[in-house]
């Protein structure tokens, strides 16, 4: 665990040091590449994180998915669990867990296991560190790992900046790998 914390801290420092204009440019490139994938084009529903701090920006992705008629679900943290709620516009998000914008549960629809089975869903995953084998270090609470343990059939694509890719990420049995990692430079499958 200490090794993961050390790796996470050093990689997040690199990501945080990217100038905002560079992060915005690379985010647009990553989102454009994501929207060109068959997985995105064929999805009827997108489960997307809402960017926080220096993460790949997802607002354009969310806006485009809504505009194109896809259902969009964003995560909400409730103590130790994470669930996804449908939104129809960005105004349905408000500051929640650790200052991250989340859907307000009132009036928003909780995504159920049945919905995941019926809709062709695609999850867009965040993370702090990845390797080329698709191992992932999140932010230390295991929310995505536990969610994907409940719904292992859910297709996943992680998006990050190339500076977040390292040689090796120590993986645990409970860690869930995304099917693909997409950066501004490469696809890792």
Cite the annotated binding site for substrate by residue number.
50, 55
Binding residues for ATP: 4-8, 136-144
3-state helix/strand/coil string of the chain: CHHHHHHHHHHHHHHHHCCHHHHHHHHHHHHHHHHCCHHHHHCCEEEECCCCCCCCCCHHHHHHHHHCCCEEEEEEEECCEEEEEEECCHHHEEECHHHCEEECCCCCCECCHHHHHHCCEEEEECCCEEECCCCEECCCCCHHHHHHHHCCCCCEEEECCHHHEECCCCCCCCCCCCCEEECCCCEEC
């Amino acid at each position: 665990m200490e090794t993961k914390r050390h790796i996470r801290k050093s990689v997040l420092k690199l990501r945080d040091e990217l100038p905002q204009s560079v992060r915005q440019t690379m985010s647009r490139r990553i989102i454009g590449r994501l929207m060109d994938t068959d997985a995105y084009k064929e999805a009827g529903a997108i489960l997307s994180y809402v960017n926080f701090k220096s993460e790949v920006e997802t607002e354009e992705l969310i806006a485009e998915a809504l505009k194109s008629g896809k259902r969009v679900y964003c995560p909400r943290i409730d103590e130790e669990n994470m669930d996804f709620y449908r939104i129809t516009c960005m105004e349905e998000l408000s500051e929640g867990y650790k200052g991250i914008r989340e859907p307000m549960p009132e009036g928003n629809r909780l995504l159920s296991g049945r919905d995941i089975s019926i809709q062709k869903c695609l999850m867009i995953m965040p993370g702090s560190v990845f390797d080329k084998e698709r191992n992932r270090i999140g932010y230390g609470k295991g929310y995505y790992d536990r969610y994907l343990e409940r719904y292992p059939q859910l297709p996943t694509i992680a998006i990050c900046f190339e500076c977040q890719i390292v040689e090796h990420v120590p993986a645990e049995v409970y860690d869930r790998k995304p099917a693909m990692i997409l950066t501004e430079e490469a696809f890792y499958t």
